[in-house]
Copies of this chain bind each other. A is one copy, B any other.
Amino acid sequence: MKSSVNKAQVIKQSIDSKKNEIIHLLRVFVQAESTQGNERGAQSLVIETLQQMGLEVDVWEPDAKEITSHRYFASSRTEFRGSPNVVGVLKGTGGGRSIILNGHIDVVPAGDVTQWRDHPYSGVVKDGKMYGRGVTDMKGGNVALLLAIQAIQEANIALKGDVIFQSVIEEESGGTGTLAALLRGYKADAAIIPEPTNMKFFPKQQGSMWFKLHVKGLSAHGGTRYEGVSAIEKSMTVINHIKELEKIRNDSITDPLYQTIPIPIPINIGKIHGGDWPSSVPDLVTVEGRFGVSPEETIEEAKEEMKQWIRRLAEKDPWFEEFPVTLEWFGARWLPGSLDPNHSFMQLLGDKYKEVIGAPPVIEASPWGTDGGLLTEIGSIPTVVFGPGVTEKAHFPNEYIELEKVFSCAEVIAHTIIDWCGDEKG
């Protein structure tokens, strides 16, 4: 016990001594505005940091031809020149279990800049919180991973298993970065993704995919609108029909991890547009949305259920018999992910959480997809999403992270790595 207590003290001291350095690192990460297509600057900072830490660094741009033909490829672009993936490996001495520490470097756009109190890429710190686009989703998590590794190095602990740190592109657009890392051969016995869970454990992640519906009408002059059929009115029937499906799908979910979540797997209607003249009856409306996929079903099963449901519109209104609504799946897609909450890696992470935080972790299913779906589905890697940021601020103005959570998260992860990979001297 004495050696373990000492080790914990050393890790804690090491993290404490590095706080200012990590705050600085997080700020320059945030300032390196790494929206889709502009990841190179931030990745250069990651490379520099990994090299200073003495890790084996691997930098590559996903091969467009190979990646776009993969069945799980989904992105709004098909060319990745200038958008490198970065991996840093801390090689183990052998005989231990390996771990992937995965975080994405891409951030969503800042949106309406006038809604930000400070510049979206300021990285300004106030009352223990750092502000900026991407600070919670998920550069705060990324520096927590780096800090965990640095603390282990500082404590002179030689791990048996490999630690594979991944700074990937394209998570916000469907996971091409993590898919590329899997195709490059990076596998491990477990993985942590420190997306903003507010320190909760998410062993299961909701998948999601985008759909587009075309709803038809019949044009006429607005002054004799009764001679036409409004595609806007018909689209209201379609949207209500989809809300029914959402209810049916969610009523069937009994997993206790979803107990506190009002709608475990929502179907979100995100966009609508239709008609081209105020004085004409609109003959076409397009509806776009996000379809939540349960961790217990496949993408294919979810697609089939939606397809059958849309066909049933004709039961509500014979119009749809003659003019069926067309359903298209397009753009981004995040695979669902699932890990048995009783898996040994979850148990270990939970134990370390209790030791560091002094209370058991809250365990839930995530309301959004992460790259965890790809790691479990393609790599069969047990994956837990656990990070310091807060979901409510991701993708919104005045995004922030509480810095103390970054440090606590790093401490939990450092101890988890040591026990999972094995301490050569321990």
As a 0/1 sequence over residues 182 to 213 of chain A, the CB contacts with chain B under 8 angstroms (1 = contact) are 00000000000000000000000010101100
Residue contact A272 to B289, C-beta cutoff 8 Å: no
Residues of B within 8 A of A369 (CB): 223
A280 adjacent to chain B (CB < 8 Å) = yes
Residues of B within 8 A of A368 (CB): 221, 223-224
Residue of chain B at shortest CB distance from A289: B278
Residue contact B223 to A367, C-beta cutoff 8 Å: yes
Chain A positions within 8 Å of B, measured between CB atoms, are: 206, 208, 210-211, 219, 221-227, 230, 232-233, 236, 239, 262-263, 266, 268-282, 285, 288-290, 292, 331-332, 366-369, 391-392, 394-396
A280 partner, pick from B273, B277, B366, B395, beta carbons under 8 A: B395
Nearest chain B CB to A174 CB, angstrom units: 11
Residue contact B332 to A232, C-beta cutoff 8 Å: no
> How many copies of this kind of chain does the complex include?
2
Cα separation A266 to B220 with both chains bound (whole Å): 12
Cα separation A236 to B237 with both chains bound (whole Å): 10
Residues of B within 8 A of A273 (CB): 272-274
A277 partner, pick from B270, B281, B394, beta carbons under 8 A: B270
Residue of chain B at shortest CB distance from A276: B271
Cα separation A390 to B219 with both chains bound (whole Å): 16
Residue contact A221 to B394, C-beta cutoff 8 Å: yes
Residues of B within 8 A of A279 (CB): 208, 210, 268, 270, 290, 332
Residue contact B278 to A225, C-beta cutoff 8 Å: no
Once A223-B208, A236-B239 are accepted as A-B contacts, the answer to whether A282 and B270 lie under 8 Å apart by CB is: yes
Nearest chain B CB to A366 CB, angstrom units: 8
Residue contact B271 to A275, C-beta cutoff 8 Å: yes
Nearest chain B CB to A71 CB, angstrom units: 21
Cα separation A394 to B224 with both chains bound (whole Å): 12
Residue contact A278 to B226, C-beta cutoff 8 Å: no
Nearest chain B CB to A414 CB, angstrom units: 30
Cα separation A394 to B279 with both chains bound (whole Å): 13
Residue contact B278 to A222, C-beta cutoff 8 Å: no
Residue contact A272 to B269, C-beta cutoff 8 Å: no
Cα separation A278 to B272 with both chains bound (whole Å): 9
Nearest chain B CB to A34 CB, angstrom units: 19
Cα separation A290 to B228 with both chains bound (whole Å): 15
Main SS class of interface, A: mixed
Residue of chain B at shortest CB distance from A212: B278
A230 partner, pick from B211, B223, B269, B275, beta carbons under 8 A: B269
Residue of chain B at shortest CB distance from A236: B236
Identify the interface centre among A226, A270, A274, A282: most chain B CB within 10 Å of its CB: A270
Nearest chain B CB to A3 CB, angstrom units: 43
Once A206-B223, A368-B223, A392-B227 are accepted as A-B contacts, the answer to whether A278 and B282 lie under 8 Å apart by CB is: no
A285 partner, pick from B227, B272, B290, B391, beta carbons under 8 A: B272
Residues of B within 8 A of A281 (CB): 268, 270
Residue of chain B at shortest CB distance from A281: B268
List 12 extra interface pairs beyond A221-B395, A226-B263, CB under 8 A.
Answer: A227-B392, A232-B269, A232-B272, A233-B269, A236-B239, A268-B278, A270-B277, A273-B274, A278-B332, A279-B290, A279-B332, A280-B395
Once A278-B289, A288-B278 are accepted as A-B contacts, the answer to whether A221 and B367 lie under 8 Å apart by CB is: yes
Residues of B within 8 A of A210 (CB): 278-279
Residue contact A290 to B278, C-beta cutoff 8 Å: yes
Once A239-B236, A272-B272 are accepted as A-B contacts, the answer to whether A223 and B278 lie under 8 Å apart by CB is: no
Residue contact B274 to A271, C-beta cutoff 8 Å: yes
Once A222-B289, A223-B290, A262-B226 are accepted as A-B contacts, the answer to whether A272 and B270 lie under 8 Å apart by CB is: no
Cα separation A276 to B268 with both chains bound (whole Å): 12
A-B contacts, 5 of them at CB < 8 A, read A210-B278, A221-B391, A270-B281, A271-B278, A272-B273
Once A269-B230, A282-B270 are accepted as A-B contacts, the answer to whether A222 and B275 lie under 8 Å apart by CB is: no
Residue contact A278 to B270, C-beta cutoff 8 Å: yes
